[in-house]
């Protein structure tokens, strides 16, 4: 099922320019690289990339600003983030337009991404008054032990195309209230939304009297990200992307004893138990697997269904896949927009060829759509594939809407299948059996950083820490106590007695 006709590239270009103008962005056009739209697969406008000298200057400026920002009271730092949240609210529609134009997200998901940014600003403002340490009992009389938290330094944020604004906000809102400054290297695929976010934060800084250089944006290719990775002035590198990218970033940052926060690949699975509410499960699974055209790190990629209900459930799921509206992401009836590029489509086709060679059977989807209307774009039907075992291609993450379906007989078997992949981001079980749910959430259950019951693998809320284990990198962003990654802890001993008592009863002099 295909939604309405696609807008032209000229129409999208005009809409992008209009949104940027409404936000107040003056784009410095150039010929270094091009902003493009996956809606038509064509270029929107040329842009200027940051030079080596400009990147160096941005890091130096952020370091200088940190020396002032770190001693600014945290509630005052929160005022900057509060104002940013207000500006995001004012420009929500224009920002969502840019997300749809550059990332291809359907309208509701694009608006949801901007709302997520607003929510994390609200969270961070509250956090600015809750950067709590603790008091620890001392073994020495007349002494007090305390733990305090201090700003860390410059935070380098390297973000991906699929959440081009939200992931930046997770890092930046928290880092700013923690007293850090930020240098942001966004994906080359989504520069326009990045320019808009940077402009709004700069405006907020000016209005509340914060240093402009608490945040700097550097546009360009991989080489700029590598400078952030290797520069000792960048205390923390927060990088979102593939596991392959993380394997390069982690060791390089560690080699200079810096910190890294890695949000990498996900090969997420859901278990459907015999007691599951099947109507609920269908809704949760289809959104998790086909939403964002399968281009979320939390996208559902493996489905493990109990053998007793597999026939009926797979039949219903196949029927739902056949009805998915694909096409223009600005059309309110569309549920699946384009892949980010034809390169992503090639990777998807390669995975499908491999899984079919290994015995997999395509149950639904896989056909390319809108080739005449947009030959340079990559519209495709989400694919449902029945597999008998978890082969090598099933154990890999293909960043596309492919859902592999397996069956199981016992919960232990299902959990073993679930955990038998290198990645460990998000997971889910659909069941009305409390014992099954609790086992899945226990230490003997899911080995992922996110474990859900009766909801899909995607759609995390900002109040909880976001991140995963194993090849997912181990980082945590957003809510809960993820803020501690952006600060350094200090243990303090205060002697308020007139005696110098040494620990463990040591006697000296």
Q: What is the pLDDT of residues 78-134, one digit of tens each?
A: 999 999 999 999 999 999 999 999 999 999 999 999 999 999 999 999 999 999 999
* pLDDT score recorded for residue 1: 66
Asked if the model's pLDDT at residue 32 lies above 90, the reply is: yes
Other beta carbons within 10 angstroms of residue 130's beta carbon come to 9
Q: pLDDT of 366-379, one tens digit each?
A: 999 999 999 999 99
Q: pLDDT of 471-481, one tens digit each?
A: 999 999 999 99
Closest CA to 321 of 303, 306, 309: 303
Mean pLDDT, range 224-252, rounded to an integer: 97
- For tokens 């405006």, name the residue: 203
DSSP letters along 137-165, please?
--SSTTEEEEEEEEE--EEEEE--SSSTT
* pLDDT score recorded for residue 122: 98
The catalytic position among 263, 397, 436, 477 is 263
Three-state secondary structure call for residue 286: helix
Task: Give me the chain's average pLDDT, please.
Answer: 97
Catalytic residue flag (residue 263): yes
- Alpha-carbon gap, residue 374 to 425, rounded angstroms: 34
Tell me what percent of the residues of the chain surpass a pLDDT of 90: 98
Mean pLDDT, range 18-34, rounded to an integer: 95
With beta carbons less than 8 A apart as the criterion, state whether 402 and 301 touch. yes
Asked if the model's pLDDT at residue 3 lies above 70, the reply is: no
Beta sheet of 487-495, edge-to-edge order: 134-136, 143-151, 487-495
Residues in contact with 509: Cβ distance below 8 Å, sequence separation at least 6, in sequence order = none
> In the chain, what are the domains?
10-264+474-490 (3.40.605.10), 268-455 (3.40.309.10)
- Alpha-carbon gap, residue 428 to 285, rounded angstroms: 10
* pLDDT score recorded for residue 2: 66
* pLDDT score recorded for residue 509: 82
- Alpha-carbon gap, residue 44 to 456, rounded angstroms: 35
Whole-number Cα distances in Å, 96 to 106, 109, 451: 10, 9, 29
Mean pLDDT, range 395-412, rounded to an integer: 98
* pLDDT score recorded for residue 179: 98
Asked if the model's pLDDT at residue 405 lies above 90, the reply is: yes
Q: pLDDT of 154-189, one tens digit each?
A: 999 999 999 999 999 999 999 999 999 999 999 999
Three-state secondary structure call for residue 369: strand
Tell me what percent of the residues of the chain surpass a pLDDT of 70: 99
Predicted model pTM:
0.96
- Residue 347's pLDDT band, with cuts at 50, 70 and 90, is very high
């Amino acid at each position: 099922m295909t939604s309405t006709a696609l807008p032209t590239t000229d129409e999208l270009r005009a809409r992008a320019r209009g949104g940027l103008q409404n936000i107040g962005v003056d784009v410095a056009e150039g010929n270094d690289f091009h902003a493009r739209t996956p809606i038509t697969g064509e270029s929107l406008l040329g842009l200027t990339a940051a030079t080596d000298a400009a990147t160096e200057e941005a890091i130096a400026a952020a370091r200088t600003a940190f020396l002032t920002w770190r001693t600014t009271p945290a509630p005052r730092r929160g005022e900057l983030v509060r104002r940013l949240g207000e500006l995001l609210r004012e420009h929500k529609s224009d920002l969502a337009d840019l997300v749809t134009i550059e990332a291809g997200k359907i309208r509701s998901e694009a608006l949801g991404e901007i709302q997520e940014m607003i929510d994390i600003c609200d969270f961070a403002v509250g956090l600015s008054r809750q950067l709590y340490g603790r008091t620890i009992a001392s073994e020495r009389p007349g002494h007090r032990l305390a733990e305090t938290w201090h700003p860390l330094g410059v935070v380098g944020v390297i973000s991906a195309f699929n959440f081009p604004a939200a992931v930046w906000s997770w890092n930046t809102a928290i880092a700013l209230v923690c007293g850090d400054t930020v240098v942001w290297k966004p994906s080359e695929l989504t520069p326009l939304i990045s320019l808009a976010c940077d402009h709004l934060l700069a405006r907020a800084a000016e209005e509340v009297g914060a240093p402009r250089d608490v945040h700097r944006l550097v546009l360009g290719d991989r080489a700029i990200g590598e400078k952030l990775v290797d520069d000792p002035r960048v205390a923390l590198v927060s990088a979102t992307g593939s596991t392959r990218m993380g394997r390069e970033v982690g060791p390089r940052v560690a080699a200079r004893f810096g910190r890294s926060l890695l949000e990498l690949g996900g090969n997420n699975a859901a278990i459907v138990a015999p007691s599951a509410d099947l109507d609920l499960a269908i809704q949760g699974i289809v959104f998790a697997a086909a939403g964002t055209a399968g281009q979320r790190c939390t996208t559902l990629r493996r489905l493990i269904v109990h053998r007793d209900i597999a026939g009926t459930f797979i039949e219903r799921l196949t029927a739902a896949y056949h009805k998915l509206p694909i096409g223009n992401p600005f059309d309110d009836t569309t549920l699946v927009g384009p892949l980010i590029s034809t390169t992503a489509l090639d990777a998807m086709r390669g995975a499908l060829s491999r899984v079919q060679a290994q015995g997999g059977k395509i149950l639904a989807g896989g056909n390319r759509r809108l080739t005449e209307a947009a030959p340079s774009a990559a519209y495709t039907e989400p694919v449902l594939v029945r597999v008998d075992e978890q082969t090598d291609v099933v154990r890999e993450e293909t960043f596309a809407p492919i859902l592999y379906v397996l069956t199981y007989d016992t919960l232990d078997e299902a959990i073993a299948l679930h955990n038998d992949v290198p990645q460990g981001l998000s997971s889910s079980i659909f069941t009305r059996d409390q014992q099954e749910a609790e086992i899945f959430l226990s230490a003997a259950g899911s080995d992922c950083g996110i474990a859900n019951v009766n909801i899909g693998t995607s759609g995390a809320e900002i109040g909880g820490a976001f991140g995963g284990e194993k090849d997912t990198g181990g980082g945590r962003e957003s809510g809960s106590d993820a803020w501690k990654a952006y600060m350094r802890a200090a243990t303090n001993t205060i002697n308020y007695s007139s005696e110098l008592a040494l620990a463990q009863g040591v006697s000296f002099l």
